[in-house]
Amino acid sequence: MAKATKPAKAKLADKSKIGKIKSVGKAKKKLVVKAKGAKRKAAVLPLPEGVKLKGAKLPRRIRKVEARVLEPLSVSVAGAAASILDELWAVIEQRRLSGDVTSSHSARLLARGTAKVAQKFGEEAVECVIEATLGNRAATVLESADVLYHLMVVWVDAGIKPIEIWTELKRRQGISGIAEKAARPSGIIRAAGTSKLP
């Protein structure tokens, strides 16, 4: 008759707990090995593209990350186009004119002043950068939409119409970015307090 083994006193749910126990001492390190019931596996690293190892598969967590990051963006909303920005600007301008701060987020934000409008835009831009840096594709799409909304609020607050931006973008089309920056007025350089503008 096989002898029943006692279950380990502490159940370890994640590797962070294992790491903490390992650093305490050798006795607890042995407990961890017994609790896991298996020898340590060698770390499996992702292979370069095009290189395949026979019978080997990437770890599940790496496959999940790759599926999330490399997943193509599928847009299924009918009528989605860049013209939505013009429509969004018009709605925000309408809300500004109505001044209904009780039912309109845009009106409430605009009523708080330029500094708050700019702060919210900055916050959303930082959140977008963080998600993009982490490779969170879906979150980057969502945060990008927030950035564009808050940019439209900045434009409404500043009295800028989208056509002014579109005109400037059209003017720059076909011009080298380096040449365009070199042609900026010296007043911009003085106002910035540095000659090291990107």
pLDDT of the residue at 63: 73
User: For residue 24, what are its two tokens?
Assistant: 């305490």
pLDDT of the residue at 47: 56
pLDDT of the residue at 86: 92
pLDDT of the residue at 130: 95
pLDDT of the residue at 59: 76
136-178 residue pLDDT tens:
888 999 999 999 999 999 999 999 999 999 999 998 888 777 7
A 10 A CB-CB count for 88 gives 19
Mean pLDDT estimate for the chain: 74
Cα angle 163-147-180, degrees, rounded to a multiple of 5: 55
45 has a pLDDT exceeding 70:
no
User: For residue 113, what are its two tokens?
Assistant: 């002043």
Enter the CATH code of domain 84-192: 1.10.287.1080
66 has a pLDDT exceeding 50:
yes
81-134 residue pLDDT tens:
888 999 999 999 999 999 999 989 999 999 999 999 999 999 999 999 999 999
